[in-house]
Structure 1
Amino acid sequence: MQNTLFLDAAFSRPTPRPPVWMMRQAGRFMPQYWEIKNKYSFLEMCKTPEIAADVTMLPVDLLGIDAAILFSDILVTGEAMGGELSFTQGVGPRFANPVRTAADVDLLETDVIDRLQYVADAIAVIQQRLGGHIPLIGFAGAPFTVMSYLVEGGSSKDFKTTKLLLHNQPELAHRLLAKIAKVTTDYLNLQIAAGVNALQIFDSWALALSWNDYEEFSHRYIKEIIGGLNRQDIPVISFCKGSSVFAPMMAEAKPDVISIDWNADLLNVKKTLPAGIAVQGNLDPHILYADKPVIKQQIHKLFERMRGENGFIFNLGHGIMPDIPFDHVKYAIEVVREFSY
């Protein structure tokens, strides 16, 4: 690997500057993304290895980031299990057959890794194009987040149907989560075998849960997944919205990195974590709307706060919003790359 900054930081080794990549770094804020998106459906983009590679490479070629992340979606596991998945502009993901009953859970399949082979094929194409220049991050959705889409039938503001399932039928919820966890473990191991250099688990909607519910319905399954990975020399990043609250518990699952949202002081969080667990984050993505001097000031403020700390990967507290100016994202990455401790 020519650029080892990201892997060094993920394993809490010293780095001359923080490495940088950004969640949703290949996405809707890029005109070049829309040139591709206007020709294909979202699922076509995910399922065609050459197109997935084209999109994955956009921030590599245009932004100069220190790690690429596979272009895919967290819901491909739910589709592989039997969910009828579609994406509609302005609506987002939908499952036409929501999972609400014991019979619905029984219908979901778990021996489905062959249905995700297109992801392994995309990884092979991407690694060929990267040529060992920077690492490639693979990923999957955490069981609770994937479950919420399957149960709600799509996005939700209050997760009412999902929470009713958790509270009224906890045994059924655990059956569903166990199935998703099994598929997720297999899927991430498929990505490792295909050649990814790191993994991130996205629990995008964990913030909907109380502390006790997070422990019972999310954390235990992430712990199970991480424990089942063939992770030698492959750092694992755990991310959730709510990580500023849940980080102490997240550490118990033994990830290499915890990605922190922007609601906490990053150094304070790091000091509460066991030695050897790195942190990733945690710039508020809304700062990228601001004027460039403000962007630079805020990045430098974070870097000065983290000065002297090994195990720090610069990222946003969540993904880039679609209408953030491309030029501002590029500038932010330049600020990071020019910094040195």
Structure 2
Amino acid sequence: MTRRQLEGAPILDAAAGKKPTRTPVWFMRQAGRSLPEYKKAREGIPMLDSCFMPELLAEITLQPVRRHDVDAAILFSDIVVPLKAAGVGVEIVPGRGPVMDQAITTRADVDNLPILDHHVTEVAEGIRIILDELTGKQALIGFVGAPFTLASYLIEGGPSKNHEKTKAMMHAEPETWHALMRRLVPTITAFLKTQVEAGIDAMQLFDSWAGFLTEKDYREFVLPYSVEILKEVDGVIPRIHFGVGTGELLAAMGEAGSEVVGVDWRVPLDVAAERIHALNGPKVLQGNLDPAMLFAGPGVIRSEVARIKAEAARAIEAGHATGHIFNLGHGVMPNTDADAITEAVRIIHEED
């Protein structure tokens, strides 16, 4: 395919370390959940089914771009979509999250785990529909889940508060763990390639549960596989790497190879930049408004936005960062007022 050549798209300029025309912003989980038009569009359709319906996934992806004036669309999908596409039995249970038909407990289970070996044509078609509507200033960000988070869902059988089965396998059966990671990487990269070849402009590797790990465990059991995935699109599109509760892992996550490192709301951006810079040199920062602040009214949002922009500016001035993409420190909460999101974007876009 011929990739779109976007000139002056704020997010891509920031990701490249150039000065954008305005502070770029997009929000994790901006597509869906909080929008009334999303609830109407997906009424009666299971979550995972909607991720395989090209017209619907395109419509849901585009809804927040139309409503909020964000600088990028984020592909409507879920981190377990490539597992589903490969033939793994998984459903998203409302109020709980992804639940597996059968948890992985043995090496035989790992060896029998299906691997995605084809393009997901429904997603590729949805991407083409999205790109037809986006302007030359609006990027489309694709995403995949990192192998640790997918492995945890598979081992625990669903969401977990403590990831005890995951950590037990990691330490008591390291060969089985590494075999599982080696089996997941090709599925994740195949799904990423589907998105890249369909025309996404940037991508995010999303590691929901990495914050439950020590740095030692992250480096030994996770980092090599995240490096492998990000290397697949090195030099092709900008890469963002984000995890939740990963303040102590930021330097290690910076080693995975992305141009942009996402920071959750727990660590000030200038502090995060110092941690990342210490081992990796300067990178672009993404983040990091606390999603709960969207409930606190425009005055609080304005104050928090100013603080975060100032932290980013200090990091750039100190040579610890090369740019800043505004985002939340995690995803939009389901009961967030859509008008509050629109107002937050307007405030973020105001002249500094």
The TM-score normalised by the length of structure 1 is 0.95
Matches within 5 A, 1:127-166: 127-166=131-170
2:254 matched to 1:251? Answer: yes
1:39 to 38, 44, 48: 44
Residues 202, 237 of structure 2: 8 Å contact kept? yes
Q: Paired residue for 2:27?
A: 22
Residues 93, 154 of structure 1: 8 Å contact kept? yes
Q: Paired residue for 1:188?
A: 192
Q: Paired residue for 1:9?
A: 14
2:274 matched to 1:268? Answer: no
Encode CA deviations 1:248-298: one digit per residue, 9 max, x unaligned.
111212211000011111012223424451010011111111121111111
Q: Paired residue for 2:305?
A: 299
Matches within 5 A, 1:182-261: 182-227=186-231, 229-261=232-264
Q: Paired residue for 1:84?
A: 89
Code of the aligned partner of 1:302? I
2:294 to 274, 288, 294: 288
2:341 matched to 1:337? Answer: no
Could you tell me how far apart the structure 2 residues matched to 1:185 and 1:106 are? 18
* 3-state secondary structure, aligned to 1:222: helix
Residues 2, 134 of structure 1: 8 Å contact kept? no
Q: Paired residue for 1:323?
A: 335
Residues 142, 200 of structure 2: 8 Å contact kept? yes
Are residues 86 and 278 of structure 1, via their aligned partners in 2, closer, same or farther at CA, if it must alter by over 3 Å? same
Q: Mean Cα displacement is larger for which, 229-238 or 253-262?
A: 229-238
Q: In the TM superposition, what is the alpha-carbon distance from 1:300 to its structure 2 partner? A: 1.1
Encode CA deviations 1:208-254: one digit per residue, 9 max, x unaligned.
11111111222111011112x13334100000113321111112122
Matches within 5 A, 1:94-105: 94-105=99-110
Code of the aligned partner of 2:132? Q
2:208 matched to 1:172? Answer: no
Could you tell me how far apart the structure 2 residues matched to 1:276 and 1:208 are? 25
Could you tell me how far apart the structure 2 residues matched to 1:111 and 1:48 are? 18
Could you tell me how far apart the structure 1 residues matched to 2:285 and 2:137 are? 23
RMSD: 1.6
The TM-score normalised by the length of structure 2 is 0.92
Identity among equivalent positions (%) equals: 38
* 3-state secondary structure, aligned to 2:70: coil
Q: In the TM superposition, what is the alpha-carbon distance from 1:123 to its structure 2 partner? A: 1.0
Q: In the TM superposition, what is the alpha-carbon distance from 1:306 to its structure 2 partner? A: 2.2
Residues 85, 116 of structure 2: 8 Å contact kept? no
* 3-state secondary structure, aligned to 1:323: coil
Residues 3, 134 of structure 1: 8 Å contact kept? no
Could you tell me how far apart the structure 2 residues matched to 1:58 and 1:80 are? 25
Residues 124, 195 of structure 2: 8 Å contact kept? yes
Could you list the runs of 5+ residues in structure 1 that have no partner in the other structure? none
* 3-state secondary structure, aligned to 1:200: strand
Residues 58, 76 of structure 2: 8 Å contact kept? yes
Q: Mean Cα displacement is larger for which, 30-39 or 138-147?
A: 30-39
2:80 matched to 1:68? Answer: no
Could you list the runs of 5+ residues in structure 2 that have no partner in the other structure? 1-5, 317-321
Residues 80, 112 of structure 1: 8 Å contact kept? no
Residues 11, 25 of structure 2: 8 Å contact kept? yes
* 3-state secondary structure, aligned to 1:199: strand
* 3-state secondary structure, aligned to 1:113: coil
Code of the aligned partner of 2:326? F
Structure 1 outlier segments of 4+, above 4 Å: none
Code of the aligned partner of 2:183? K
Code of the aligned partner of 1:241? V
Residues 256, 277 of structure 1: 8 Å contact kept? yes
Greater length-normalized contact order (CA 8 Å, ≥ 6 residues apart):
1
Could you tell me how far apart the structure 1 residues matched to 2:187 and 2:262 are? 23
